[in-house]
Amino acid sequence: MASENEIRAVVRRVVEELERGGERPALSDSGSSSVDRSDRVAVGADHGGYALKEKLVSHLRDQGVSVEDCGTHNAEAVDYPEIAHAVARLVAAGECGVGVIVDGAGIGSCMAANKVPGVRAALCYDVSSARNSREHNHANVLTLGAGLIGDGLARQILDTWLATPWGPGRHARRVELITGVERQYSRSAASGS
């Protein structure tokens, strides 16, 4: 059962959205969101996501967000695991606050990014999954499938994802459990067992 504070937070978010007239959430200039204009965003795409990546990079820069473009820089075929690794590495190292990866379906890049310790990549296909991935799972990398969603929805997902803060309490505790699993297998791999 949800706590009183969690219910109040949901009600507050719904009221704020209604007061905005249902508009997309904007990136925050305050500390209320875990991603703000001062965070650098690592962005990458394979050839299937190149056109959408270019639009999202422009969208972010138009909002004053600093973007680290990890490629690809044209529509020629490239291997998505290399792009996903480049984005995930920057996020895991703390060089960028969050990352965004676009490929044809978003699935392969999500799988590749999640191999990097410290990365919690989430494939999002609507605004609800974007909000949930941040609030409940503390996602720090967003993956999108350019072949499955349109440009407008991709922008809405990105804006919502960036504007949603990480949830406290049970969410933070569960993310720590995920991190514990990651540490367990990182030690096993390092020791050769």
Residues with a known catalytic role: 136
- How many angstroms separate the CA atoms of 185 and 181, rounded? 6
Cβ–Cβ under 8 Å, residues 158 and 131: no
Could you tell me the two tokens for 30? 């305050």
Residue 143: CB atoms within 10 Å: 31
Could you tell me the two tokens for 29? 């200039």
Cβ–Cβ under 8 Å, residues 98 and 73: no
- How many angstroms separate the CA atoms of 102 and 60, rounded? 14
